[in-house]
Each structure stands twice: as C-alpha cells, then as structure tokens.
Chains A and B, each alone.
Chain A
Amino acid sequence: MITLDNITKTYNKGTVLAVKDISFEVKPGELFGLIGPDGAGKTTLFRILTTLLLADKGRAMVNGFDVVKDYTKIRNSVGYMPGRFSLYQDLTIEENLHFFATVFGTTIKENYALIKDIYQQIEPFKDRRAGKLSGGMKQKLALCCALIHKPAVLFLDEPTTGVDVVSRKEFWEMLARLKAEGITILVSTPYMDEAKLCDRIALIQKGTILSVDNPADIVQSFPGDLYAVQAANTHLLLREARAYEGTETCFAFGDALHVTFRSGVADGLLAHLKTRGLDDATMEKITPGIEDCFIHLLKN
C-alpha cells in the first residue's frame, strides 16, 4: 500500500540531512508505526508520502500512485492528520467537520458510520469552537476530519503527542477499529509503549531506519538477558551499577535501572551494591520492551 525506496531528503540546500536512504513497505490493511524520538525524521517522511515535500532521491508509492507524478490522485485518496493541531480554531466542531467533508467532496451523513464511535464522544460539544477544546477532544476531532472521506490510507503524524493517558488509550482503540474497517494506517509516535499496539513498526533515529519488524520479533531479537534493579537511593544505585565491572549497559527507566551484563556475571552485582551500602537493592529478570530494543539498536 505504501512503499519507500531509498528516500533521501535534505533541507537548507543539502546542509541539513533529514532522512537518508529510507526503504520500507506498509502492507494493505496494516497498522504501521513509525517510532522514534523528536527530530528523527518522522514528519519529513509523512510529508513526502502525502506529496507535500519532494524527496531529493528515491521513489515512493502510495496506494499504487507515485508521490511525484500522481500527486493529485494521492491527494484524493488519503487522509492526513498533521502533527500540530491543524483545524480552524474559530470554527465549531460541527463547522470544522462539515467544512472538511465538503472540501473532500462528501457529506458527514455519507460516511457517518466510520466516524460515529469517535464523533459521539465529542458531539455534546459540537457547538464549541475548536480552539476551546481539550487536547484529547482536539485529536478526536482532527481524526474525524481526516476520516470523513473514507480514505484508503490514513497518515497520522504523532496523533497522541500532548494528549493525556486515558485519551491516548482511547485513541489507539479507535485506530484498532479503523484497521478492522480495512483502512491502512501509518502512524508515528515518540512513545515506545504505543509501539506494541502496531502490527509492525519501524524504529527511526537521526533520519535512518534501525529496524523494521513486528513488535514481538523486535523484542525477541534483544540479545541476552535484561534485569531490572531497584533501590531507594537511585542516584547512588545508578552510579554504582555503572561502575560495576560486569555491567554492559545500564539505563534509568522510571524508578528502576535496566541492566544487561557481560556474559554470566549477573550475580555479582547485588553483592557489589551491598558493599557500597545499598543493602535494599533488588534485582529481577524482565522481558525487554521496545524502548530497551531501541536503546540497544542505538548502541550498535
């Protein structure tokens, strides 16, 4: 449904590299996640795929159309929700939706079934101006507007950034329902915990793809064992755990440390910590998450 073939894009006459030799494919009906921190090049890729930017090099196809030659055909058949909230703040919810429905040559009625679940949540406020909505409601409205013409492919650029946890969860539930409708979805997010909700993900950093796979396989590919280490004095813990000779990697994750060891020397850490006064230190083996894999891939 979407293919990228060695896409390279630079800004400022080639001085700033945005993305380099990006190639991946999104299959029809797939919920594909583009996972990476801010500035990784996610928005650039979205803009190239939605025909808003021209790549310096490489080819890309969306829904069977070339992003350069057939850009009007792509513009007719995709839905796009840019990263920033991009609706008219001085128009009400209903006016925004009606406007975008008309611009895309359809009516709210015609595709109401598709947005019904989402729209019902914000319908009580339909006469409120979009600028006065909460972050979660804004995103729901933006999604409705991007969906109203029943696009074949949906591009969502960081739809959950700046949205509260509950709304984020709801948002992903909606994406699952849209996927069930057969819509191909490309979504980007800086939140690693959202990665496992995708069918497949591409990890992207500094304009290059680190890995493309389904979340389970990416986790599977994590080499060795991962341990979570905890103690009350987290500062001292981090310093001492890093100082320990057997430690290979050590990163703070919330109130715990995620640690990997050089082969077979895991057992020595607790004893080492105890000699440094961290008597309450505990350690347990855990399954790595996407973020652990991401950090691991970054290290290599």
Chain B
Amino acid sequence: MALLSKKDTSLILDPLADNNPITIQVLGICSALAITAELKASLVMALAVVFVLGLGNVVISLMRNIIPSKIRIIVQLIVVAALVIIVDQVLKAYQYELSKTLAVFVGLIITNCIIMGRFEAFALANGPWRSFLDGIGNALGYGVILIIVGFFRELLGSGTLFGIPVLGDPIAKTGLYATGYENNGFMIIPPAALIVVGIIIWVQRSRNPALVEEN
C-alpha cells in the first residue's frame, strides 16, 4: 500500500493551485496584507501556519466525535490559541531569538480564518491522517501565495530579497538605480498586497477558465 493514496495526494496538491485558500477561497487575506512587505516574514509566517494548521487539524479531528456542536467554534478557537501559546512559550525558553521574530505573528495565526475554516470544513468530518494532510496542503497553498507576494513587494518596494540588496544601492545610485530606477514606495504599504493578490487571481483564472464562477 502506498503511503499516500490518490485522494491523499490531491488533499495536499489541490490547495496549492485550483483550490488555493487565498486566491480561490479568499481566506486569510488579513495576514497576507499585513506581513508580506518582506520575504523573510512571509516565509516565517508560512512555516508557522504549516505547523499550527497541520497539528490543529489532527487535534480537532481526534476530538471530532466528542465536540458539542453548539460550542464547536469556541473549542476550535481554544485549540488553536493553546497550540500557538505552547509553541510561543517553548520557543521563548529555548530559542529566544526565533521567538522574537515570531512574536508579531502569534495573534495573526490565532485569527487566521484559514485555520478555523479547515477545522470547520474538513477536520470535523475526517480522520486524523487525512486532516493532517489537508492542513499541510492548505497551509502550503497559503504559504506559496504569501511568498510570491512577499517576493514582489520586497523586490519592487525595497529593492532587496531577504534583506539583501539585489538591485544596487538606492541612495548611492549604483546598479539599476544608476539608470534612474526608483523603488516603488507604494509596494511596501498593505494595499499593494491586495493588488498583487488580485493579479495572481487574474492570471490563475485566465489560465484555467473552469475557476471562473458563472454569474
């Protein structure tokens, strides 16, 4: 028996493209706007969400038969908040530097609607292994978009990637800046993320017309 059945593989791969949580389901936009001004933050956030969503989906899936339906949203919220706080505390004790990088994301992870969305739509109705795969898949789909947006915003807005100047020095006018090129200050403010996400959605839908909804 293969480790991943065909259904399992599609659980991971679908959210990367045709069922992407950001571009198709339009979830998690808040954090996509907030932290994609630089590539490093996008990557950190993507990894943190992979971890929390993968684990959270498993926990919810294991509890799915005993959760009272009337308070299931609250239960989900407690699970995700507890997970995030546990990770935060452990990192603070043993990986202090890393924990400081992540501190700003803690609140954004808890309120990320992709997490609640997957708990609600998938983990409550499926077994732990599939829920785990679904969590990883959706978090990766989210992460991919974050990294694409982060790449363009940091490159066009600051002329750097991962904080390393790639287009020359904007103040001393070297490299590309010698030709009169300027950083686009608009790219580093949050509305630019909406535009970049919009362009990704546009490109994705024109390549695959099946994604366009009938009106």
A and B associate in one complex: no
